[in-house]
Chain A
Amino acid sequence: MLTCDYFNPLQIRGESMTEFEPKIVAFLCNWCAYAGADLAGVSRLQYPSNMRTIRVMCSGRIDPVFIIKALKGGCDGVMVGG
Chain B
Amino acid sequence: MNIELLTLSKVTGIEGEEGNFKVFIKKSPRYVRMDKCIACGACAEKCPSKTPDEYNANLSNRKAIYVPYPQAVPLKYAIDADKCIYFKKGKCKACEKLCPTMAINFDDKEEDIILNVGSVVLTAGFQPFDTSKFDTYQYGKFPNVVTSLEFERILSAGGPAAGHVKRPSDKKVPSKIAWLQCVGSRDLNRCDNEYCSSVCCMYAIKESMIAKEHIGQGFEATIFYMDIRTHGKDFEKYYERAKKEGLRFIRSRVHTIAEADKTGTLKLAYVTDEGEKKEEDFDMVVLSVGMEPADSAVEAARKLDIALDDYKFVKTDSLSPVSTSRPGIYVAGVIQGCKDIPQSVVEASAAACSASISLAPARGSSVKEKVFPTENDVAGQDPRIGVFVCNCGVNIGGIADVPAIAEYARGLPSVAHVQENLFTCSQDTQEKMVELIKEHKLNRIVVAACTPRTHEPLFQETIQNAGLNPYLFEMANIRNQCTWCHSEEKERATDKAKDLVRMAVARVALLEPIPALSVGVNKSTLVLGGGVAGMTSAISLADQGFPVTIVEKSSALGGAAKEVSKTWDGKDVNAFVSGLCAKIENHPDIKVILNSEVVNAAGFVGNFETTIKTVEGTFTVNHGATIIATGGKAAETEEYLYGKNPKVTLWHDIEHDPERLKYANNIVFIQCVGSRDEARPYCSRICCTTSVMQAIFIKEQRPDANVFILYRDMRTYGEKEVLYKRAREKGVVFIRYARDNKPKVTEASDGSLSVEVFDPILQQNLLIKADILNLKTAIEPSINEQIASFYKVPLNEEKFFMEAHAKLRPVDFASDGLYVCGLAHYPKPIDESIEQAMAAAARAATVLSKPSIMVSPLVSQVNAEVCIGCGLCAEVCAFGAIVLEEVGAKGKRAKNIPASCKGCGLCAASCPQKAIDMLHFRHSQLEASICAVA
Q: Do A and B share a direct contact in the complex (Cβ within 8 angstroms)? A: yes
| Least CB separation from A69: chain B residue | B930
B104 to chain A, nearest CB (A): 22
Chain A residues near B931: list those with CB within 8 A. 69, 73
Stretch at the interface among B169-177, B305-313, B496-504: B496-504
The answer on a CB contact under 8 Å between B488 and A46 is yes
Chain A residues near B929: list those with CB within 8 A. 54
The answer on a CB contact under 8 Å between A63 and B858 is no
Chain B residues near A42: list those with CB within 8 A. 70-71, 480, 484
Chain A residues near B485: list those with CB within 8 A. 40-41, 44-47, 49
Chain A residues near B482: list those with CB within 8 A. 41, 49
Question: B384 at interface (Cβ–Cβ under 8 A)?
Answer: no
The answer on a CB contact under 8 Å between B909 and A61 is yes
| Least CB separation from B454: chain A residue | A38
Chain B residues near A37: list those with CB within 8 A. 480-481
Chain B residues near A62: list those with CB within 8 A. 909
Interface of chain A, main secondary structure: mixed
Stretch at the interface among B567-575, B609-617, B649-657, B899-907: B899-907
Question: A74 at interface (Cβ–Cβ under 8 A)?
Answer: yes
Q: With A40-B485, A46-B488, A53-B477 given, is the CB distance from A60 to B904 under 8 Å?
A: yes
The answer on a CB contact under 8 Å between A61 and B934 is no
Question: B908 at interface (Cβ–Cβ under 8 A)?
Answer: yes
Interface residues contributed by chain A, number (CB under 8 Å)? 37
- Which of B453, B495, B876, B905 contacts A38 (CB under 8 A)? B453
Q: With A56-B905, A57-B921, A62-B909 given, is the CB distance from A73 to B481 under 8 Å?
A: no
B38 to chain A, nearest CB (A): 14
B398 to chain A, nearest CB (A): 13
| Least CB separation from B931: chain A residue | A73
For window 20-75 of A, CB contacts with B under 8 Å fall at: 23, 25, 30, 34-35, 37-47, 49, 51-58, 60-66, 69-70, 73-75
The answer on a CB contact under 8 Å between A57 and B903 is yes
Q: State in angstroms the CA–CA spacing of A25 and B503 once bound together.
A: 11
- Which of B451, B905, B927, B933 contacts A58 (CB under 8 A)? B905
Chain B residues near A30: list those with CB within 8 A. 453
Chain B residues near A40: list those with CB within 8 A. 480-481, 485
Q: State in angstroms the CA–CA spacing of A65 and B858 once bound together.
A: 21
- Which of A47, A52, A57, A64 contacts B500 (CB under 8 A)? A52
Q: State in angstroms the CA–CA spacing of A73 and B929 once bound together.
A: 11
Chain A residues near B876: list those with CB within 8 A. 60
| Least CB separation from A61: chain B residue | B905
Question: B918 at interface (Cβ–Cβ under 8 A)?
Answer: yes
Q: With A49-B496, A54-B929 given, is the CB distance from A39 to B70 under 8 Å?
A: yes
Q: State in angstroms the CA–CA spacing of A74 and B479 once bound together.
A: 26
- Which of A54, A61, A65, A75 contacts B904 (CB under 8 A)? A61
| Least CB separation from B495: chain A residue | A49
B76-104, CB under 8 A of A: which get 1 and which 0?
A: 00000000000000000000000000000
- Which of B158, B921, B930 contacts A70 (CB under 8 A)? B930
Q: State in angstroms the CA–CA spacing of A57 and B107 once bound together.
A: 45
| Least CB separation from A67: chain B residue | B930
- Which of B487, B905, B909 contacts A46 (CB under 8 A)? B487
Q: State in angstroms the CA–CA spacing of A64 and B914 once bound together.
A: 12
Q: State in angstroms the CA–CA spacing of A41 and B905 once bound together.
A: 27
B148 to chain A, nearest CB (A): 24
Chain A residues near B755: list those with CB within 8 A. none
B395 to chain A, nearest CB (A): 10
- Which of A23, A47, A49 contacts B933 (CB under 8 A)? A23
- Which of A23, A38, A51 contacts B451 (CB under 8 A)? A38
Q: With A42-B70, A42-B484, A49-B482 given, is the CB distance from A69 to B905 under 8 Å?
A: no
The answer on a CB contact under 8 Å between A73 and B934 is yes
A25 to chain B, nearest CB (A): 5
How many chain B residues sit at the interface, stated as a range, is 35 or more
A80 to chain B, nearest CB (A): 11
Question: B68 at interface (Cβ–Cβ under 8 A)?
Answer: no
B145 to chain A, nearest CB (A): 29
| Least CB separation from A60: chain B residue | B906
A22 to chain B, nearest CB (A): 12
Q: With A39-B70, A41-B479, A70-B934 given, is the CB distance from A56 to B451 under 8 Å?
A: no
- Which of A34, A47, A53, A75 contacts B934 (CB under 8 A)? A75
| Least CB separation from A63: chain B residue | B909
The answer on a CB contact under 8 Å between A41 and B927 is no
Chain A residues near B930: list those with CB within 8 A. 25, 54, 66, 69-70, 73
Chain B residues near A63: list those with CB within 8 A. 908-909, 923
Question: B253 at interface (Cβ–Cβ under 8 A)?
Answer: no
For window 861-900 of B, CB contacts with A under 8 Å fall at: 876
| Least CB separation from A65: chain B residue | B923
A49 to chain B, nearest CB (A): 4
- Which of A38, A56, A65, A70 contacts B481 (CB under 8 A)? A38
B467-488, CB under 8 A of A: which get 1 and which 0?
A: 0000000000101111011111
Q: State in angstroms the CA–CA spacing of A46 and B483 once bound together.
A: 10
Q: State in angstroms the CA–CA spacing of A37 and B492 once bound together.
A: 18
Q: State in angstroms the CA–CA spacing of A8 and B232 once bound together.
A: 54
The answer on a CB contact under 8 Å between A52 and B452 is no
- Which of B71, B484, B503, B934 contacts A41 (CB under 8 A)? B484
Q: State in angstroms the CA–CA spacing of A49 and B486 once bound together.
A: 6
For window 590-641 of B, CB contacts with A under 8 Å fall at: none
Chain B residues near A70: list those with CB within 8 A. 930, 933-934
Chain A residues near B909: list those with CB within 8 A. 60-64
Q: State in angstroms the CA–CA spacing of A69 and B452 once bound together.
A: 25
Chain B residues near A43: list those with CB within 8 A. 70, 158
The answer on a CB contact under 8 Å between B905 and A57 is yes
The answer on a CB contact under 8 Å between B480 and A44 is no
Give the interface centre of B158, B906, B933 by most chain A CB atoms within 10 Å: B933
Chain A residues near B677: list those with CB within 8 A. none
B924 to chain A, nearest CB (A): 11
Chain B residues near A49: list those with CB within 8 A. 482, 485-486, 489, 492-493, 495-496
Question: B926 at interface (Cβ–Cβ under 8 A)?
Answer: yes
A78 to chain B, nearest CB (A): 9
The answer on a CB contact under 8 Å between A58 and B904 is yes
Chain A residues near B71: list those with CB within 8 A. 39, 42
- Which of B489, B858, B934 contacts A74 (CB under 8 A)? B934
| Least CB separation from A78: chain B residue | B930
The answer on a CB contact under 8 Å between B918 and A73 is no
Q: State in angstroms the CA–CA spacing of A73 and B931 once bound together.
A: 6
The answer on a CB contact under 8 Å between A75 and B492 is no
| Least CB separation from B480: chain A residue | A41
Q: State in angstroms the CA–CA spacing of A39 and B918 once bound together.
A: 27
Chain A residues near B906: list those with CB within 8 A. 58, 60-61
Chain B residues near A46: list those with CB within 8 A. 485-488
Q: State in angstroms the CA–CA spacing of A40 and B482 once bound together.
A: 10
| Least CB separation from B877: chain A residue | A60
B451-465, CB under 8 A of A: which get 1 and which 0?
A: 111000000000000
A53 to chain B, nearest CB (A): 6
B42 to chain A, nearest CB (A): 14
Q: With A69-B927, A73-B931 given, is the CB distance from A53 to B487 under 8 Å?
A: no
Q: State in angstroms the CA–CA spacing of A46 and B490 once bound together.
A: 12
| Least CB separation from B858: chain A residue | A57
Q: State in angstroms the CA–CA spacing of A72 and B496 once bound together.
A: 20
Q: State in angstroms the CA–CA spacing of A70 and B70 once bound together.
A: 34
The answer on a CB contact under 8 Å between A52 and B499 is yes
Q: What 8 A-B pairs are tightest by C-beta distance, nearest first?
A: A61-B905, A41-B480, A58-B904, A60-B906, A41-B484, A73-B934, A74-B934, A49-B492
List 19 A–B pairs whose Cβ atoms lie within 8 Å, in order of A's numbering. Answer: A37-B480, A37-B481, A40-B480, A40-B481, A40-B485, A46-B488, A52-B499, A52-B503, A54-B929, A55-B452, A58-B904, A60-B904, A61-B906, A61-B918, A62-B909, A63-B923, A69-B931, A70-B934, A75-B933
Besides the contacts A43-B158, A46-B486, A52-B500, what 15 more A-B pairs have beta carbons closer than 8 Å? Answer: A38-B477, A38-B481, A41-B451, A41-B479, A41-B485, A46-B487, A49-B486, A51-B481, A57-B905, A58-B905, A58-B906, A60-B905, A69-B927, A73-B934, A75-B934
